Amino acid sequence: MMRIILKKNKQKELILRAKGDKTWKKLARELNISKGYLKNELRNELRTLGDNLYQKLCKISKVNFDKYILEKLKDDWGRSKGGLTFNSPRLLINKPSKELAELIGIILGDGNLWVKKRGFYYIKICGDSKKDRDYLINYVKPLFENLFNVKMSVYFQKQKNVMYLSKGNRDVIFTLNKFGLKSGNKKKNNQGIPSWIFKSKKYLECCIRGLLDTDGCLCPITGRDYYYIWFSSNIEQLRKDFTQAMKKLGFKTSKWNLRKNRTPDTYVGKKDLINKYFETISFKNQRHLNKLCAPIVQRPNRVME
């Protein structure tokens, strides 16, 4: 199959012509590709068009863009550009690190790896577009890019107050798979903390920080003048691993609160342990640290079952 290289902005124009008044989901279904890949990667010209896809877009839009074609490349052109092939994914990281452990914690909290049909490999990390913006753009994005030496894209869904970082890269997914993260739905996969992280206290601390920066929070309890540290997860293995990790690091957590129609949660409630957490691990997500500078607004005790 050939890859079609169009003049700058012409690939985007072709896609938008084909879309017309349709939704991205409908057009993606017609093209038999994922909506995210179409809307984010192809529309923004981060990936080139395969010849079949190009022909479909021209047919749907009823225009011929052949005059804008700069070059046609074979799918195996990578062999002449450095010896790489699409059948040989590369391992981008050769050894564990604190930074990788923290990124894995972040992905376990608010991220996902996806492998779609037709060879689409994706990582996406989500957050609140207001509260998590600084953390995602100024901390998580550089962390990811320094680890893998690839750029992440930033997208916003203003109507839903959601933002996410994403990257379509087979080598990144291959590498993260090798270091213990499964592709697909984390709950269905019963994804836990990779075993290599338990071999080092520093790895564990970094992974836990990533988890609590994303799926953790600080909550006041009636009658207390400090914040409890809470963590929630609907993944059974991750709950078990979180409890084990916190115990190994010297933190006692409550019994998991399992209630109908609520995400299970647990907490650290002893003041000396909470102080220890801030002294040894702390948060990188400023939304949590900002709470410490604001007056405590009391809320009712949460009954643990």
Phi–psi pair at 120, nearest 5 degrees: -100, 125
Domain assignments of the chain as residue spans, ordered by start: 2-74, 98-191, 197-293
Q: At what angle do helices 201-215 and 236-248 cross, to 10 degrees?
A: 130
Q: What is the mean pLDDT of the chain?
A: 86
Q: What is the mean pLDDT of residues 44-72?
A: 88
Which carries the bigger pLDDT value, residue 300 or residue 121? Answer: 121
Those residues with Cβ within 8 angstroms of residue 187's Cβ, 6 or more apart along the chain or in another chain: 234, 235
**Range from 60-69, 76-85, 173-182, 266-275 carrying the lowest mean pLDDT:** 76-85
Counting every residue written for the chain, the total comes to 305
Report for 193-207, 225-239, 258-272: range of highest mean pLDDT: 193-207
Superfamily of domain 2-74: lambda repressor-like DNA-binding domains (1.10.260.40)
Least confident of 19-23, 34-38, 196-200: 34-38
Fold of 197-293: Endonuclease I-creI (3.10.28)
For range 28-32, the mean pLDDT = 93
For residues 54 and 64, what is the distance between their CA atoms, to the nearest angstrom?
10
- Distance CA(300)–CA(220), nearest Å, equals 9
Task: Compute CA distances 184 → 37, 96, 224, 240, 296, whole Å.
Answer: 16, 22, 41, 20, 39
Residue 10: burial class (beta carbons within 10 Å; 0-12, 13-18, 19+): middle
> For position 81, what pLDDT does the model report?
42
What are the tens digits of pLDDT across the range 156-195? 987 788 999 999 888 899 899 989 999 989 999 999 999 9
Q: Tell me the C-alpha distance between 21 and 272, whole Å.
A: 59
Enter the pTM of the model: 0.69
- Kindly calculate the radius of gyration of the chain based on its CA atoms and give it in whole angstroms: 23
Q: Show the CA angle centred on residue 286, arms to residues 182 and 220, nearest 5°.
A: 95
> Which pLDDT band holds residue 1 (cuts at 50, 70, 90)?
low
pLDDT of 79 over the 60 cut: no
Say which residue, 56 or 71, is predicted with more confidence.
56
Report residue 210 as tokens: 């990533």
Return the higher-pLDDT residue of 212 and 44.
212
Tell me whether domains 2-74 and 98-191 share a fold: no
173 vs 259: CA distance, rounded Å: 34
8 A C-beta contact, residue 121 and residue 90: no
Q: In the chain, what percentage of residues exceed pLDDT 90?
A: 59
Q: Which 8-state DSSP code applies to residue 144?
A: H
What CATH code is assigned to 98-191? 3.10.28.10
